Structure 1
Amino acid sequence: MIKSSIIHPELLSILAKCGHKTQILIADSNYSFVINSNPRSEIIYLNFAPDMLNATDVLNGVIQLINVESTSMMAWPDDFDNTIHSEYVRILPQGTEMKFQEREDFYSTAKSPNTLLVIATGETRRFANLMLTVGAVK
């Protein structure tokens, strides 16, 4: 039995394959990850039911296993109160760069060959998609 806070075998296997600059998408339940990600990306389905598992729980687990060099989120409308953004900032290591991309640019990033993993969550908050870029081992 593995001694880790993450015990999902497929997720552990794919995370072990990630190298520096690999991208990991934590997708909310509204994201069309099948058509808006690299066709060679591995998809891990953790979207059992609405808000199970949510994106912040997944992020908390993933950052225990990899270093995060930078992140990006899809830009949201000015009149939208994106509550998950501040939660991500609080969870990520202090000083982690976060970029904001327009919708089509975010989709292009997700479709790039660097995106190895898509984690489908049950997160119901809109604009909660988070792209992680794996950092080097410190």
Structure 2
Amino acid sequence: MLKHRLLHPEITEVLARAGHHAKVLIADGNYPASTAIGPNARLVSLNLAPGLVTVSQVLETLLTAIPVDEINTMGIPSDDPYALKGDPPAWTDYRRIVSAAGLDVKLTPIDKWQFYDAVASRDHVLTIQTADQQLWANVLLTLGCRTD
């Protein structure tokens, strides 16, 4: 019987095998998850219908189960046709979730193309594809160490 909120068997299996520095992508509904994936990563599709499930829902659940050292968002190039003025609304929600989880970790945007490179790395172990319709809602988690 698990005490944390994460119940999905495949996601739990991958996270249980992952170690320090492993990367987990929670992808929005627009992310090209089938092609932009690391060589060692597993893809789990949770995109049931538009908006079900969201990146925020997955992030909140994962933070009950794993230690996290770093949280990266996809930085928005100013010349991108989907560029926004300021931070995407999703990032405010992520900051609230991280704070509520008691983590002292900042959301750090990395350049869009560096984000894709980070996902393509050998350290990428899991992509969770959501159906989140918000733009720029992708989150890349770097796992930390269990210390208790």
Q: Does the CA-based 8 Å contact 1:24-1:118 persist in structure 2?
A: yes
Instruction: Write the distance in 1 (CA, Å) between the matches of 2:22 and 2:40.
Output: 13
Q: Which amino acid aligns with 1:84?
A: A
Identity %: 29
TM-score (ref. length: structure 1): 0.92
RMSD: 1.5
Is residue 2:100 matched to residue 1:90? no
Cα 1:14/1:97, change in 2 over 3 Å: same
Instruction: Write the distance in 2 (CA, Å) between the matches of 1:98 and 1:15.
Output: 21
The aligned runs of 1:99-114 (5 Å cut-off) are: 99-114=108-123
1:133 corresponds in structure 2 to 142
Q: Does the CA-based 8 Å contact 2:40-2:123 persist in structure 1?
A: no
Of stretches 89-98 and 117-126 in structure 1, the one that deviates more from structure 2 is: 89-98
Instruction: Write the distance in 2 (CA, Å) between the matches of 1:13 and 1:89.
Output: 27
Instruction: Write the distance in 2 (CA, Å) between the matches of 1:81 and 1:134.
Output: 24
Instruction: Write the distance in 1 (CA, Å) between the matches of 2:69 and 2:27.
Output: 18
The aligned runs of 1:1-138 (5 Å cut-off) are: 2-76=2-76, 77=83, 79=85, 82-92=88-98, 93-138=102-147
Q: Does the CA-based 8 Å contact 1:69-1:97 persist in structure 2?
A: no
Instruction: Write the distance in 1 (CA, Å) between the matches of 2:84 and 2:47.
Output: 28
Instruction: Write the distance in 2 (CA, Å) between the matches of 1:102 and 1:6.
Output: 30
Instruction: Write the distance in 1 (CA, Å) between the matches of 2:32 and 2:50.
Output: 15
Cα 1:70/1:3, change in 2 over 3 Å: closer
Q: Does the CA-based 8 Å contact 1:45-1:120 persist in structure 2?
A: yes
Cα 1:81/1:100, change in 2 over 3 Å: closer
Cα 1:134/1:81, change in 2 over 3 Å: closer
TM-score (ref. length: structure 2): 0.86
Instruction: Write the distance in 1 (CA, Å) between the matches of 2:122 and 2:12.
Output: 20
1:10 counterpart SS class: helix
Deviation at 1:2, TM superposition (A): 4.5
Q: Does the CA-based 8 Å contact 1:51-1:122 persist in structure 2?
A: yes
Instruction: Write the distance in 2 (CA, Å) between the matches of 1:137 and 1:81.
Output: 31
